[in-house]
A and B are shown apart, each in its own frame.
Chain A
Amino acid sequence: MSTATHAHDTHGHDHAHAHDHHGPPAGFSRWMYTTNHKDIGTMYLWFSFAMFLMGGSMALLIRAELFQPGLQLVEPQFFNSLTTVHGLVMVFGAIMPAFVGFANWLVPMQIGAADMAFPRMNNWSFWLLIPAALLLVGSFFVPGGAAASGWTLYPPLIIQQGMSIDMTILAVHILGASSIMGSINIITTILNLRAPGMTLMKMPLFVWTWLITAYLLIAVMPVLAGAVTMLLTDRHFGTSFFNAAGGGDPTMFMHIFWFFGHPEVYIMILPAFGIVSQIIPAFARKPLFGYASMVYATSSIAILSFIVWGHHMFTVGMPAAGNLFFMYATMLIAVPTGVKIFNWIATMWKGSMTFETPMLFAVGFLCLFTIGGFSGLVLAITPVDITLHNTYYVVAHFHYVLVSGALFAIMAGIYFWLPKWTGHMYSEGLGKLHFWLSMIGFNVAFFPQHFLGLAGMPRRIPDYALQFTEWNQISTVGAFIFGFSQLLFLYIVISTIRGGAKAPDRTWEGADSLEWTHLPSPVPYHTFETAPVVK
């Protein structure tokens, strides 16, 4: 790969090469027709933030209803729709697109490529999110209300509801197509567009984690597509996949769904590992400890993710041998995950540490994700899970890994790369305020849910017994602190885009991937049209 070419015409006619270096076209068509990885990354990130606010509003409505026992604000059916769509919107609308946005911005720059391998398909991956989001959110307004089955879409409940289920299923299909195309693009870019000298084991860890994530996505999104297709035909075309009367089994859906679902949770955390693995060395001013073991640990987590799905269904009556297998396989994942945690700690050991906002979020990630990982180990123990299944303990567990895990890493990444993207420094004071508000709000919201779960409060129910009141009230207060402090985040990001102190090219002295060492801040519209040579 010596030079790269940007063609700026649609029919392959001749154009002067000077055109290759102009900036983006003006107006809305820039965003609709773009094939620029940076534009597409930006659109992914804004879409993700919009969906984050939407899913967050649903969460706040849920917490408001749960402020007191009894029914105050919403009907139980609507409450179920809120929990369902909150989950789907956050998983498929907020977390995953945010990481794809990071991949779009960073993967080409970090491997020294001019763009993604398939720029047009890249744009389609993004624009498919819009119809999917419209279907998903629009399903609130059709007869019967939005899907109320929980985000896992279990039959037989989901067979019975109205047309919103069909909208949800088709939204999942479109999201799946988007994810598969996005992943093929990322994986091809990484395998085929690396700059000379950028060997696989020299790639920044963020690129490595996305390579493995893309593999997981291509492997499991089609399985989800198959599962929801079977739901659709069971609903409308008389098949009996999940109907025991016809020889099928609702449990079968759970198996197929969680064969997708467990790799899916690693899809949402591996890129977070990648981001944190970029940030911690930068602020410890030391190279990442154990680079190769990080790569192997990430791969091990990915491979193990295919054989642990049964831990989501310990209570459905699998044979004892199945429960045991899934219990031990799940615990095995603690080994590579522990390798990663210890590597991050060893990276910080005797480093010249400073704690700017990205590092605060990264350290917050490290502490809180570890708590989420440990509660995951608790839930992996079959006999323990049988009492904790479908309680708030599970809710607390997966919010520790998804909010203080994935989302904190996203926040850390935004603060880390915003100076590179916009050319401006964010306000460090406001950033720190955002971090501490998020940190306190999050823990006040979710730590008490461990106690509620251990005491037996079931999830997905709009009412609860009186003895759960105090912790629920504390949790709701924390959730509102956390939720509204994200408006501060929005303000910080917008004001950084619009102005602020000039960011140096190498904003963080310890950051050493190509976008910091080879490119100015802000990065020009086209980068690495001549590939750098990596030594």
Chain B
Amino acid sequence: MSNAQPGGYYFAPPSHWPVVGSVALFFMAIGGVLLMNSYGVGWVPFGIGFFTLVYMLFGWFGTVIRESEGGLFNGQVDMSFRWAMSWFIFSEVMFFAAFFGALFYARVYSLPWLGDIDNKLLWPDFATHWPSAGPYRPPEFSAMHALGIPAINTLLLLSSGVTVTWAHWALKKGDRQNLIFGLSLTIMLGLLFLGLQIYEYMHAYSDLNLKLTTGVFGSTFFMLTGFHGFHVTLGVTMLIVILFRCVAGHFRPEHHFGFEAVSWYWHFVDVVWLLLFVFVYWV
């Protein structure tokens, strides 16, 4: 790769992937709009868009991986990736902040206001309590117990933070065997978490009568845990890609930001879970 000069910053050449990604999102958006408005034909553009997006992700990330393994990224490029990943995680923090904000607002302001004297004429029987599905024909439901599956899930995610660090140490020492073992364990813990999360949702729907439509409690519960679960899914997917790359012999003890970025993301997902455990399940 002679076009990487010593000390040179690698600026990517022209690429068709961005336009492919935009077309993909356009089709997905059109499909999504149609589907949400009960036009079944929406599956067609949505499907086209989704598979185009997957194609784009494979192509684009594949290009970046080839560039990285080709030695095109010097220390300064590495630093760019570090800044970018940090700011991306900050943006994710703020995304969750919006939903935590909704949870706190509902508990601290809107429910007490709905239960106060001003609203007695409209809803005489409504008393503020948590969990609550609001004053209008609230269904009978129970909240999830913090000390059941959620506690196990907390342990699983915390352990996975340990195993991914174990893999990282092995990578830094050049110990492939422990790297792959630690990474595989992390992925398994992540998948186990997701399995338990699915079981928990089924339990909520069939036994607790706790649904997405169960007032503001159901809304905040499922949207917060759901978006977290979606992020765990992304995290596990990224860990699997990294595992394949480790098996293929990618990364070097002094050059492996792809690995580190995913482990940062994994720790971020971990921290969000701790906040969920405390504020959604526990208090």
Residues of A within 8 A of B (CB): 1-12, 14-15, 17, 25, 29-30, 32-35, 114-115, 117-121, 123-124, 126-128, 130-131, 134-135, 162-163, 166-167, 170-171, 173-174, 177, 180, 183-185, 187-188, 191-193, 218-223, 225-227, 229-230, 232-233, 235-241, 243-249, 251-252, 255-256, 259
Are A238 and B79 in contact (CB-based, < 8 A)?
no
Q: Which of B29, B33, B132, B212 contacts A239 (CB 8 A)?
A: B212
Identity of the chain A residue whose Cβ is nearest the Cβ of B100 in the assembled complex:
A226
Picked from A11, A17, A223, A230, the residue with its CB within 8 Å of the CB of B223 is A230
Measured between C-beta atoms, what is the minimum distance from B270 to chain A in Å?
19
Q: Is the CB of A230 within 8 A of B102?
A: yes
Interface class of chain A by DSSP: helix
Neighbouring A residues of B23 by C-beta, 8 Å: 131
Q: How distant is the Cα of A223 from the Cα of B100 in the complex, in angstroms?
A: 11
| B242 on the A face (CB < 8 A) | no
26 of the cross-chain contacts (CB-CB < 8 Å) are A1-B9, A4-B11, A10-B63, A12-B67, A17-B5, A30-B14, A33-B19, A35-B12, A117-B83, A119-B11, A127-B18, A135-B30, A163-B36, A166-B37, A185-B84, A192-B83, A193-B76, A218-B94, A219-B91, A221-B91, A226-B95, A226-B102, A232-B36, A237-B212, A238-B213, A239-B219
Q: Tell me if B72 is interfacial: C-beta within 8 Å of chain A.
A: yes
Q: Are B105 and A255 in contact (CB under 8 A)?
A: yes
Contact (Cβ within 8 A) B84 A241: no
User: Is there contact, CB below 8 Å, between B215 and A5?
Assistant: no
A135 touches B223 (CB 8 A): no
**A124 touching B21, Cβ below 8 Å:** yes
B114 pairs with A247, CB closer than 8 A: yes
The answer to whether B87 touches A188, judged by C-beta atoms less than 8 angstroms apart, is yes
Q: How far is the CB of A242 from chain B (nearest CB, A)?
A: 9
Interface of B: prevailing SS: helix
**B14:A252 contact, CB within 8 angstroms:** no
Cα of A244 to Cα of B212 in the assembled complex, Å: 16
Contacts A3-B5, A15-B2 aside, 17 further interface pairs with beta carbons under 8 A come to: A5-B5, A8-B14, A120-B60, A123-B15, A131-B23, A166-B36, A174-B25, A180-B91, A184-B87, A188-B80, A229-B223, A232-B36, A244-B134, A247-B135, A252-B109, A252-B110, A255-B105
Q: Say yes or no: B106 contacts A120, CB within 8 Å.
A: no
Given that A128-B25, A167-B33, A218-B91 are known contacts, is A32 also in contact with B84, CB under 8 Å in the complex?
no
- CB of B72 within 8 A of CB of A7, answer yes
Q: Which residues from chain B contact A17 at a C-beta distance below 8 Å?
A: 2-3, 5
Query: What is the CB-to-nearest-CB distance from A14 to chain B, in angstroms, rounded to a whole number?
Result: 5
Q: Is B106 a contact partner of A252 (Cβ separation < 8 A)?
A: yes
Nearest first, the 3 closest Cβ-Cβ pairs linking A and B are A226-B98, A247-B134, A245-B136
Q: How far is the CA of A186 from the CA of B97 in the complex (A)?
A: 23
Q: How far is the CA of A495 from the CA of B83 in the complex (A)?
A: 41
- Whether the Cβ atoms of A188 and B83 lie closer than 8 Å is yes
Given A124-B22, A167-B29, A247-B114, CB of A1 within 8 Å of CB of B94: no
Known contacts A3-B8, A163-B33; is-contact A241 B94 (Cβ 8 Å): no
Q: Which residue of B lies closest to A177 (CB)?
A: B25
B113 within 8 A of A: yes
State A4–B80 Cα separation when bound (angstroms).
Answer: 14
Q: How far is the CA of A240 from the CA of B80 in the complex (A)?
A: 41
Chain B residues within 8 Å of chain A by Cβ, number: 77
Expressed in whole angstroms, the minimum distance between the Cβ of A28 and any Cβ of chain B is 11
Q: Is B70 an interface residue (CB 8 A)?
A: yes
B70 & A240 in contact (Cβ 8 Å cutoff): no
How far does the alpha carbon of A62 sit from the alpha carbon of B17 in the complex, in Å? Answer: 40
Q: Is B216 an interface residue (CB 8 A)?
A: yes
CB nearest neighbor in B for A255? B105
- B101 lies within 8 A of chain A by Cβ: yes
User: How many angstroms between the C-alpha atoms of A185 and B18 in the bound complex?
Assistant: 14
What CA separation (Å) do A30 and B19 show in the bound complex?
Answer: 12
User: A35: which of B13, B79, B217 is its contact (CB, 8 Å)?
Assistant: B13
A373–B21 Cα distance when bound, in Å, is: 41
Given contacts A119-B12, A123-B18, A170-B33, whether A246 and B134 have CB atoms under 8 Å apart is yes
Instruction: Decide: A34 and B1 in contact? CB cutoff 8 A.
Output: no
Most buried by A among B9, B97, B101: B9
Query: Closest Cβ of chain A: how far from B30's Cβ, in Å?
Result: 8
Task: Check B156 for interface membership: any CB of A closer than 8 A.
Answer: no
Residues of B contacting A121 in the complex (Cβ-Cβ under 8 angstroms): 18
- Measured between beta carbons, the chain A residues less than 8 angstroms from B257 are none
Interchain CB contact (< 8 A) of B32 among A35, A166, A184, A233? A166
Q: What residues on A are CB-neighbors of B113 within 8 Å?
A: 249
Given contacts A174-B25, A222-B95, contact A2 B102 (CB under 8 A): no
CB distance from A99 to the nearest CB of B (A): 18
* Alpha-carbon distance A308/B159, docked complex (angstroms): 41
The answer to the question of B144 belonging to the interface, with a C-beta cut-off of 8 Å to chain A, is no
A-side contacts of B219, CB under 8 Å: 230, 233, 239-241, 246, 248
Q: How far is the CA of A495 from the CA of B87 in the complex (A)?
A: 41
In the complex, A2→B8 CA distance in Å?
Answer: 7
In the complex, the chain A residue whose C-beta lies closest to that of B136 is A245
B133: chain A residues within 8 A (beta carbon): 240, 246-247
B91 touches A1 (CB 8 A): no
Distance in angstroms from A306 CB to nearest chain B CB is 11
Q: Which A residue's beta carbon lies closest to that of B10?
A: A5
Smallest CB separation, A135 vs chain B (Å): 6
Q: Is the CB–CB distance between A15 and B216 below 8 Å? A: no
Near A by CB (< 8 A), chain B positions 78-133 give 79-80, 83-84, 87-88, 90-92, 94-99, 101-102, 105-106, 109-111, 113-114, 132-133
A223 in contact with B134 given A34-B14, A246-B216 (CB within 8 Å) = no
B residues within 8 A CB of A131? 22-23, 25-26, 29
Distance to closest chain B CB from A343 (angstroms): 29
Q: Are B7 and A3 in contact (CB under 8 A)?
A: yes
Q: Which residues of B contact A120 (CB under 8 A)?
A: 12, 15, 17-18, 60
Which of A12, A173, A232 is in CB contact (< 8 Å) with B72? A12
Q: Check if B110 sits within 8 Å of A248, measured CB to CB.
A: yes
Contact across chains for A227 and B98 when beta carbons are under 8 A apart: yes
